[in-house]
Structures are given as C-alpha cells and as structure tokens.
Structure 1
Amino acid sequence: MANKVEYNRFSSRYTDLASRRLGGQALSCSDDFFAEMENLLNPDPAVFIEDKYTHRGKWMDGWESRRRRDSGYDWCIIKLGAPGVIKGLDVDTSHFLGNAPKSVSVEACSLQGDPDESTQWVEILARTEVEPGSHNLLDVNSDKTWTHIRLNIFPDGGVARLKVYGEVTPDWDWYLPGEPIDLAAIVNGGRPLLCSDMFFSPMENLLMPGRGKDMGDGWETKRRRGGRDCDWLVLKLGDLGKVAKVEVDTAHFKGNFPASFTLEAVKLEAGAEVTESNVDELNWLPLIEQTPLHADRQHRFMKEVKNQDQTISHIRLKIFPDGGVSRLKVWCLRGQA
C-alpha cells in the first residue's frame, strides 16, 4: 500500500508526549545562542536553508548552543504535553553535521508545577553517543510516570527536534464523578492502532485536541478505485467505558468528506490485541448505524448511539467509500459499572 506517512519503531506504537499539540513546552535551557530551544518541539521536519544567516551566525532549524570553552555541558528542560511512561526518544540531529553533540543523556521528574533548583532529577537515559544528521532512536527503560524531562548534550552543539515517545497516564482526578470523558482523546490515553489507509495524513490526527486547523490536520485516505467498500480505523480507548455520545467532525473536508460512516465497538480482555489478521473476526457491536456525513461540519450523536449499556475497550470507525475526517470524539462513562 502506498503511504506518505512514515513511522519509526516508537511512533508506530506510542504517543509523542512532548508534542506541542498536546501542550509540550521548552521551559528553559543553559544556552541557545545560535538557535532557540522552542524549535525542538516544532512538529514539522527540520529544514536547511543554505544561504540563510542571522546576526549571530548560520540560521539553523533546531536548538543550538554556542561552543563551550570549559568542561561543562548544555541542557534544555521540557514540560511534557501529557504525563506518561516514557518508552523511547528520537534525538533528531538532522542538518547538524559539524555541530551536533557527541553524546546526550536524559533526566526526568514528576511535578505539579515547574522544576526549580531544588528539583530532584532521575536519570532515565545514561550518557549515549549520537550520530550527526540522524534520527537517533534511543530506548528508555522506566515504568514511572513523568511530567518533565531534561535533555543534556555533551559538550555543546545542536539538536533539530526531540520526540519523547510513551504511554499517556491520564489524570482521572480532573473529572467529576459520573462525568462523561472523551476516552478516544490522545490526552486521555486513546491510541489509534490500525487503519486501512492513511495516504494523505496520519491517523493520530483524528484524536488530537481541538478542531483541525486545516485539511492536513485530520485522517484522510486516498481515493478508492475498486476493492473493499470502505476505509476503516481501529482505536483503543484510554480506559474501559460505556459510550454516551459521539462527535464526527469533517472540518475543512469539503470536496473529499466521506459519504457516510458507521461506528462499532468491542471489549477485549487485558493484553489482547487487535491485528490486521483478526480485526474482522472480532465480535464488533454496532454503536451508530450507517449514517450520512456532510462537508466541513461537526456531526453530533447521542440518541442514535446503540448498546450504551455495554462496556467497551476498542472502537472501529468505517467511512464509505473513502475521504477525510478531522476529529472523532467518543464520550464515555468510565469503568465497567
């Protein structure tokens, strides 16, 4: 299957906890003389412009410190957009060739506020050499929930982008007892698992906060030319729940919105997985029967939702025959009761 969306071994399984779209923020750094720390969390791939300079030197799309003349190192503190268990890192040194760090380490902490001089940092990645001009994919072995990290670069230099991959740990205490929760949302632990196609834009967009900013900020499949009758996407909810209401948003999709959709659900036992080989064999329950969609519109459903008394763990969205959906929100009463 042709596919413009590229994944690495972390991004195909985990969420970028530091994503600016989730609220990730570069808080402070030891030095960003040549290029600002905020660039680290830019969601777009880093670029290089051959003849672009500033009054401080060569313009670089990343975070770059000046050359150190002592035995120290540089650092940058990142607030994660969503607290979570960190599984891996992408320390991206794209375009940093003669000015990349030699090695990096990463520390983490878990706080309600922001770190200060008294903060106790825990090392989650020991000092590790990195390659210039590369996506350095580094495993993290930690089972704790973290809210902030500190990237240390030795001795100095530049990093284009930083992605912190892991599993979101939702703050359920934020919600009132009995309050419906969008368990499909990335920030509440929702995670897209599989889809039939995502040629134009990735399936993660479907579960991001807010409304899509443009047509590229959604899940869009290529035009169908025969074969199966629909495209589909399977997501795992952030927790077990009973569906109360649903929103399907086709914001910005005007000449390419699906003609209709269905929504199905299933409850799987802990540890069970949905795969391409078993997805059609599961006992999917209907939530919303095949229903027309319209261009550039928020479609809201409550009375139309079936099986509201059934506890579920996974959702399957089918779109007929193809097209783009900006957001899917699935508000549930959390838990099995």
Structure 2
Amino acid sequence: MIENTQVQNKLAGKGAELELKLKTHFVDLASERVGGETLSCSDDFFAEMENLLKSGRGIFIDDKFTERGKWMDGWESRRSYGRDNGREFDWCIIRLGISGVIRGFDIDTNYFRGNAPQTVSVEACVSAQQPDEDTVWHTVLAKSEVAAHSQNIFEITNSQSWTHVRLNMFPDGGIARFRVYGEAQVNWNDFVEGELIDLASIKNGAKALLVSDMFFSDKNNLIMPGRGKDMGDGWETKRRRDPGPDWSIVKLAALGSVEKVIVDTCHFKGNFPDTFKLEGINTDSDNFDEVNAQLNWQTIIPQTRLYAHREHLFINELITDKSQQFSHVKLSIYPDGGISRMRILGKRK
C-alpha cells in the first residue's frame, strides 16, 4: 500500500499562534502517552474511537479499505443524519490521563474532507468512577463550527479541574485527533507520608519550560511516563560544533528535595551525551529567557560521565543536602545528544 501524498492542512496566523501557546505552556491531558483512554462512544462503525488519542495528526492511505468501508485514521461514526436511529449526535467519553484544568482543545479533522462533522461541543465531569447515565456533565466548549481537513483550535477559560471529557459531534462524521491542553491538578493525598515522589514527572504536574535546542524531538519527552519506545521518544538536540552544553529547564511538580536522580539514555547509542550536569534553583518565576545565564543555579550533580542505552542511577553523587528545596532543575548535556528520560525523586515540602 502506498500512502497518499495529499498535503496536510497546516495552521497559519492566529490559529498557529494559539496552538504554539497551548503547546508551549500546557500539556495534552488526554494523550494516550500519559494514560488517556477512550471509554465509550455512541458509534465507531467506520473507524475506532481509540485513534483519537494517538500521536501525530493521522494519515491517509489511498487504497486501504476494510469490510466496513474506507479505512480512516481517526474516529468515524456511520451516517445518522441526526434522526431516524435515535441519535441526534455522536459522542465519545474520554478519561483524562492527567486530571486538570483545561486551557484549550485541538479538534483535528485531518483528511476527513467529505465526512467531517458540522459542529462540535465538549463537556467535562469530575468522577472517581467510570461515567454513567447519572453523571452530571458541564459544558466547557459550547457548540462550535469546525472546518473539514483542518486543525480546529479553541481556547478555554475555565478554572475547574476535570477528570473526564465528552467530545460531541453533530450530527455525525469523523475526527482524526483530539487534544486537551491544560495544567495538571495533583491530589497529594494519593502519596503516603515520606514517599519519594518523581517531582519531574509530567503526570505529577512537572513542566519542561525551556530548552536550548529540540531539533529532533520535543522537550516534554524528557519527563514522560515509562521508558522511551525509540530514539524519537526522548529529548535530542542537533550536533554542536562547540563545547556546549545544551540544556533543559524543568519546573518541578512541587517545591521539594532531590534525593535520587535517574538519567536514562535508552535507545541513544551513537548519540548519547558524553557528560551531564544537574543544577537546581528555588524561584517563583518561570521566565528564564533573558536571565538564564545570570541565575544562581546550584550544582546538584557535578559534571558526570554517561553511557549509551543505559538507565543511570545517582544517589551518592548528589552533593546537595536532603534538606535543600528546589522549584526548578536544569539538566545540561555536554556537548549535545539525546536523553530519553529524567527522574527527580524527592520529598515535597
């Protein structure tokens, strides 16, 4: 089978600016990479609801069909016309992988040209159990028009934290991908007293704020759950022709100590950094653009050798006291290269 060469519809202007804002400052709370899950839907006759939360924008393969019709890389319901079969619209319920405050949506109809919905809406709820017919849903995105074969970006102003969302499309059709951008809200009661917490985990509310370079892969990969699945699932910089270093600044999930560090170069075999250094700071500001070089970063782990395709554990190498508290850490890699994951284990203040 040959993949169709049709050009994807890319954002421009205000849409591109809003997407950049959402991607820079927030995380996709619904991504399957962080545990997002499609629970149920009204209908997914043509294409499974699970596709909604996959990475990428979805693809189109010209000559690929199933016994039910054209194969589509998204969620697609059969035609209902909003009547006759008891369904006025189609819906899909999603459990967020990270409970949190929603700041925006990307409802992407990529390659759904003649089969996109006319309008969409999104509702949300807070539920410890799987939502059912008694669940109370609250509208966070009122019924809005969407364009076919396009990313449809919506900014949300709502301060409530949610656990589930319901994506509705009217009257039927197909959506390739669904992104729920927001901020994690962690229930610290889920941790027992004295437990070491991964303060650099995206699921616990950490954020990758700024990097010197992310030519090959995204800065947020560094703090994702699990081990990297391949070399693309990490943070990798382009090759430098100077001593470096490249660096990544991560805002920790909470102010806390640093008592154990894991640096994983999984899959980075010919392009792992030669050495690394870890520093920390305690500050209320997340603005590191202009003042990064002037900040009084404190060394947590001095410049230390790394090895290919290995999970490195550091405890005795830490030169800071366990009583010290940090709000941000800075990982520097010399001169460049790729790191799959970084774990900062400590106690929340």
The TM-score, its normalising length taken from structure 1, stands at 0.95
Pick from 298, 303, 307: which aligns with 1:285? 298
Alignment of 1:63 with 2:49, yes or no, is no
Matched residues in 2 for 1:45 and 1:68: separation? 26
Matched residues in 2 for 1:101 and 1:118: separation? 27
Task: Give ranges in structure 2 of 5+ residues lacking alignment.
Answer: 1-15
Which whole-Å deviations, capped at 9, do the CAs of 1:154-198 have from their partners, x for residues lacking one?
111100000100001122112110111111000010110110111
Give 3-state SS (helix, strand or coil) of 2:91's partner: strand
Pick from 16, 31, 35: which aligns with 2:28? 16
Pick from 82, 102, 105: which aligns with 2:121? 105
Matched residues in 2 for 1:157 and 1:183: separation? 41
Aligned counterpart, 2:254: 239
Alignment of 1:305 with 2:318, yes or no, is yes
* Aligned AA (2:346): C
Aligned counterpart, 2:62: 50
Matched residues in 2 for 1:50 and 1:205: separation? 32
Report the RMSD for the aligned CA atoms in angstroms.
1.2
* Aligned AA (1:324): G
Matched residues in 2 for 1:152 and 1:45: separation? 19
Matched residues in 2 for 1:70 and 1:191: separation? 42
* Aligned AA (2:336): D
Alignment of 1:295 with 2:311, yes or no, is no
**Aligned pairs for 1:51-200 within 5 A:** 51-71=63-83, 72-200=88-216
* Aligned AA (1:106): V
Give 3-state SS (helix, strand or coil) of 2:24's partner: coil
Which whole-Å deviations, capped at 9, do the CAs of 1:100-139 have from their partners, x for residues lacking one?
1111100000111110000000111111111111111111
The alpha carbon displacement at 1:42 in A equals 1.0
Task: Give ranges in structure 1 of 5+ residues lacking alignment.
Answer: 1-5
Matched residues in 1 for 2:91 and 2:81: separation? 16
The alpha carbon displacement at 1:69 in A equals 3.3
* Aligned AA (1:212): G
* Aligned AA (2:204): N
Aligned counterpart, 2:7: none
More displaced 10-residue stretch of structure 1: 228-237 or 149-158: 228-237
Runs of 4+ in 1 over 4 A off after TM superposition: none
Matched residues in 1 for 2:112 and 2:25: separation? 27
Alignment of 1:41 with 2:53, yes or no, is yes
Aligned counterpart, 1:333: 347
Matched residues in 2 for 1:299 and 1:52: separation? 44
Aligned residue pairs total: 327
The alpha carbon displacement at 1:9 in A equals 2.4
